[in-house]
């Protein structure tokens, strides 16, 4: 009996090693294999001569812009309503909770189909950056609502009551007291949501059209993104370009993640500094 459990203990340690090795292997492989294939032409060149990911840069920035302009205000506002106006209980909160949880669980390809049906077909926009951006916004909305809700709940009631006691209105209290004191949590969640936009590709196949060789002229033109470029290169016989693009995307995503934790820490420090 005792022996069995010590064997299990070693199984655990082996499993830990295996998972660390396999996860590190993915990152290390992408970096080692890709860095040597980066070139100026690939990063900033014109697509006409050789493959370039410059259009994908622009496309990714546009998608991030559209998705966050839509999802951030709506997400924060709906979290404010749930926490500040209904006290985070009651039937309405429950319904919204179920809706956001369900939205969070929908596979990205189904979002893609939806975006295709509504923007490409029903609105007649064809493949467009705007349609892709709006679809992504709906996709990241649940994450933003959920984490903003948690941040708002972590604000002590004393702060709100103090503000009311000084004669501030509810709206003023929310914007001047509650939001600033939980800004770090909200900013972190926004950056993580942007990370999801940058990583997403299944949604975009169906909504922005994977046009890899042209910088989108307007928001209504088709285009591409970094993640989508990797898929395009890998499946159309450009393995070197695919691994080089993977390095760029990986650096991008890791940078966003580190930025999120850094900003979280920094704002926490500055608010504590103010309190003194």
Partner 1 sequence: MRGVFLFSAVFSILALATITVFLFVSGVPFIAKTGFAEFVFGSNWAPLADNPSYGIFPMIVASLYVTALSVIIGVGIGLFTSIALYKFCPKRLVSPIRQMINLLAGIPSVIFGLFGMTVIVPFVRDYISPTGVGYGILSASIVLGIMILPTIVSVSLDSLNSVPSSYYEGALALGATKEIATFKVMVPSAKSGILAGVVLAIGRAIGETMAVIMVIGGSPEMPESLFQSVRTLTSNIAMGALELSGDALSALISTGVVLFVFTLILNVSFSLLKKEKADKPKKKEKRGVSK
- Separation of alpha carbons 80 and 77, rounded Å: 5
Nearer to partner 1 by Cβ, of 29 and 46: the residue is 29
**Exactly one of 38, 43, 96, 219 binds partner 1 (CB under 8 A); which one?**
96
Q: Does residue 126 touch partner 1 according to CB under 8 A?
A: no
Q: How many CB atoms lie within 10 A of CB 91?
A: 8
Give me the residue label for tokens 């997400």: 75
Smallest CA-to-CA distance from 103 within 68, 154, 142 is with: 142
Residues 130-159 that bind partner 1 (CB under 8 A): 138, 141-142, 145
Q: Does residue 236 touch partner 1 according to CB under 8 A?
A: no
**Exactly one of 43, 58, 110, 263 binds partner 1 (CB under 8 A); which one?**
110
- Least separation in angstroms between residue 226's CB and partner 1 is 9
- Least separation in angstroms between residue 105's CB and partner 1 is 4
Question: Which three-class secondary structure string do you get for 74-112?
Answer: HHHHHHHHHHHHCCCCCHHHHHHHHHHHHHHHCCHHHHH
Nearer to partner 1 by Cβ, of 12 and 46: the residue is 12
- Least separation in angstroms between residue 48's CB and partner 1 is 23
Nearer to partner 1 by Cβ, of 52 and 229: the residue is 229
Residues 45-74 that bind partner 1 (CB under 8 A): 73-74
Please answer whether residues 152 and 178 qualify as being in contact, where contact means their C-beta atoms are separated by less than 8 angstroms: yes
Both tokens of 22, joined, read 């396999």
Q: What one-character DSSP code corresponds to residue 123?
A: S
Helices (H), the chain: 2-35, 40-44, 54-80, 91-105, 108-115, 129-153, 157-165, 170-173, 179-181, 183-199, 202-207, 226-235, 239-275
Residues 250-269 that bind partner 1 (CB under 8 A): 250, 253-254, 256-258
- Least separation in angstroms between residue 275's CB and partner 1 is 26
Residues 193-212 that bind partner 1 (CB under 8 A): 195, 198-202, 205-206, 210
Both tokens of 18, joined, read 């295996």
Residues 156-185 that bind partner 1 (CB under 8 A): 171
- Separation of alpha carbons 122 and 64, rounded Å: 24
Q: Does residue 43 touch partner 1 according to CB under 8 A?
A: no
Both tokens of 57, joined, read 């840069």
Which span sits near partner 1 by CB under 8 A: 35-43, 53-61, 109-117, 154-162?
Answer: 109-117
**Exactly one of 43, 113, 159, 168 binds partner 1 (CB under 8 A); which one?**
113
Smallest CA-to-CA distance from 241 within 271, 212, 262 is with: 212
């Amino acid at each position: 009996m005792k022996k069995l459990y010590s064997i299990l203990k070693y199984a655990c340690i082996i499993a830990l090693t295996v998972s660390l090795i396999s996860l590190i292997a993915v990152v290390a492989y992408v970096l080692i294999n890709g860095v040597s294939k980066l070139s100026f032409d690939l990063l900033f060149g014109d697509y006409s001569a050789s493959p370039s990911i410059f259009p994908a840069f622009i496309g990714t920035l546009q998608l991030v812009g559209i998705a966050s302009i839509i999802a951030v205000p709506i997400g924060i506002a709906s979290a404010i309503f749930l926490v500040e106006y209904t006290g985070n209980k009651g039937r309405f909160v429950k319904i919204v909770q179920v809706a956001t949880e369900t939205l969070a669980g929908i596979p990205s390809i189904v979002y893609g189909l939806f975006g295709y049906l509504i923007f490409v077909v029903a609105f007649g926009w064809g493949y467009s950056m705007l349609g892709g951006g709006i679809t992504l916004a709906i996709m990241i909305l649940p994450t933003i609502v959920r984490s903003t809700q948690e941040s708002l709940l972590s604000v002590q009631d004393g702060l709100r009551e103090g503000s009311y006691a000084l004669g501030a209105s509810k709206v003023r209290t929310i914007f001047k007291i509650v939001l600033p004191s939980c800004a770090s949590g909200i900013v972190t969640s926004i950056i993580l949501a942007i990370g999801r936009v940058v990583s997403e590709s299944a949604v975009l196949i169906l909504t922005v059209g994977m046009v890899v060789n042209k910088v989108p002229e307007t928001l209504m033109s088709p285009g591409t993104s970094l993640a989508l470029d990797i898929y395009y290169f890998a499946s159309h016989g450009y393995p070197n370009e695919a691994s080089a693009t993977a390095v760029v995307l990986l650096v991008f995503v890791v940078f966003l993640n580190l930025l999120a934790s850094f900003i979280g820490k920094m704002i926490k420090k500055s608010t504590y500094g103010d309190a003194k």
